[in-house]
Structure formats: C-alpha cells, structure tokens
Amino acid sequence: MGSKLSISEIFYSIQGESCYAGFPCIFIRLSGCNLRCNYCDADYTWDEGDSQEIGTVLSTVDDYPCRLVEVTGGEPLFQETSIQLLTELTARELTVLLETNGSIPIDRVPAGVTVILDVKCPDSGSKDSFHPGNIRFVKQRLKREANSCEMKFVLSSKDDYCWAKDFISHHELIDTLPILFSPVQKRISPSDLAEWLMEDGLNVRLQLQLHAILWPDISRGV
Ligand code: SF4
C-alpha cells in the first residue's frame, strides 16, 4: 500500500523555468491539485491520471538520457506518495527539482531536492493559499543546504508585482535564495515587468517560460 502515484504525464523536454532553465529535463507531472488558479495551464491534471507503481515511474525516468528531473503537477505534495518518489529519485543521484504551489508544508521533502515554491499572488485566484510555516521551512532548509530552494511569483498585474515585492521584503528573503518573477502571458508584458524591476533595482530574476517560446503551439508534453 502507498507505492502508487496518480500520474498525468512523464515527458522529456527543456526546463523552461527556474535557475535550471535551458537544461534538458525529465518531467514527472502528478495529477490532482488543491488550488484552482485562473491562469492554470495544467488544468488537465485536476481530474485525470493513471495509477502507476513508483518502480514503473523510475524505470521510465531511467530510459531518458538525462540526469535532471522535475516532479511537478498539479500539486505534487497533494499526493502523500510523492515524498517516497522524491526519496527514490535522490537515491539514484539524479538532480531533483520539486515545483510546489506553497500551500502544503514542505518539511517532509527529503534533503537533496531543490524546492521551487510558486507563491500564489492575489490575482491568481488562489490568494492567501501560502502555508505560513513554509517560510520557516525554507529558511531551515537553506541553512542545512545552500541553493536548496527557489521562490517564484507568477504575476498577473502591477498589483501582484507590488504584493510580491512586499512579500519578499516582509519575510526578508532578498539575497537568501533565488527569486523569480514571471509575467502571465497576455496579462502583463515582459517589457513592463522588466521596467518595474529596473526602476526598483530589485534583486530578483525576470523569468520567461522558455518552453512556451520554443513551442508556442504545444500545450502538453513540453
Ligand atoms: S497550483 Fe498549479 S496546477 Fe494547481 S491550479 Fe494553480 S497553476 Fe494549476
């Protein structure tokens, strides 16, 4: 019991986000999510998924010529067994990334995993979903292991930008971990976001979704 996961898709692509952007990467996309963001580009994960043994997932990963793997969703931590998957992946000496929406405590995520926390801004429709304990868990994790966390803010508006700026200032996060600001397509322009960042001299990274630039007409498996 407990060695199965509901999988939406496993695919091989170019990492489009995070400090690993540009590297070939295997993606394990788990199904199910506890949030309903209004810009979600993976809403097909909410209700669909194939039940797979962790051993089968690992065999699929082994078939790709790549040592970088990301566990994503949906919300991967929504499934208890994701912790076991992450443990097994790190034991294989892969570079393991976990993308999580920040609403579920990350304290059980095994050492060796880089946690990318996607903090939901107010205009995402998932306002106030961030689990407050995760700030402490991030700081503890960074103390134990440098570069073990990144934080991402996907922005729909100037209000979201100001909210994200206040969030990182209030929690004293600047210069403690990589912080990425990413514009929602067709809501704010990348050049506007670039201007705001330069005006404020904010030490965060502007992030564009590389996979969306490479494959603009493909919405799954990239
Ligand atoms: S957390 Fe991610 S998968 Fe879940 S609704 Fe929001 S964008 Fe979609």
pTM attached to this predicted model: 0.95
**Could you tell me the sign of the dihedral formed by the alpha carbons of 96, 17, 157, 160, in that order?**
positive
Q: How far apart are CA 60 and CA 129, in angstroms?
A: 33
DSSP letters for 150-165: EEEEEESSHHHHHHHH
Please identify which residue in the block is written with the tokens 């979201």: 160
Q: What is the pLDDT of residue 2?
A: 52
Nearest-CA residue for atom 6 of ligand 1? 37
Residue nearest to atom 3 of ligand 1 (CA): 74
**Per-residue confidence of the chain (222 residues) as pLDDT tens digits?**
459 999 999 999 999 999 999 999 999 999 999 999 999 999 999 999 999 999 999 999 999 999 999 999 999 999 999 999 999 999 998 999 999 999 999 999 999 999 999 999 999 999 999 999 999 999 999 999 999 999 999 999 999 999 999 999 999 999 999 999 999 999 999 999 999 999 999 999 999 988 888 898 888 888
Q: Residue 11: which residues within 8 A CB-CB, separation 6 or more?
A: 26, 27, 29, 221, 222
Q: Which residues line ligand 1 (CB under 6 A)?
A: 33, 35-37, 40, 42, 45, 73-75, 101, 126
Give the pLDDT of residue 171.
Answer: 97
Q: Are strands 149-155 and 113-119 parallel, antiparallel or unpaired?
A: parallel
Ligand 1, residues 30, 43, 156, 187: which to mutate, most atoms within 8 A of Cβ?
43
User: Residue whose CA is closest, atom 2 of ligand 1?
Assistant: 74
Mutate to test the pocket of ligand 1, among 99, 101, 220 (most ligand atoms within 8 A of CB): 101
Residues 6+ apart with CB under 8 A from 153: 118, 119, 121, 160, 164, 167, 179, 180, 181, 182
Tell me how far the alpha carbon of residue 101 lies from the centroid of ligand 1, in angstroms.
Answer: 7
Q: Which domains are delineated in the chain?
A: 4-214 (3.20.20.70)
**Residue 199 Cα, ligand 1 centroid: separation in angstroms?**
30
According to DSSP, the residues that pair with 29 across neighbouring strands are: 9, 72
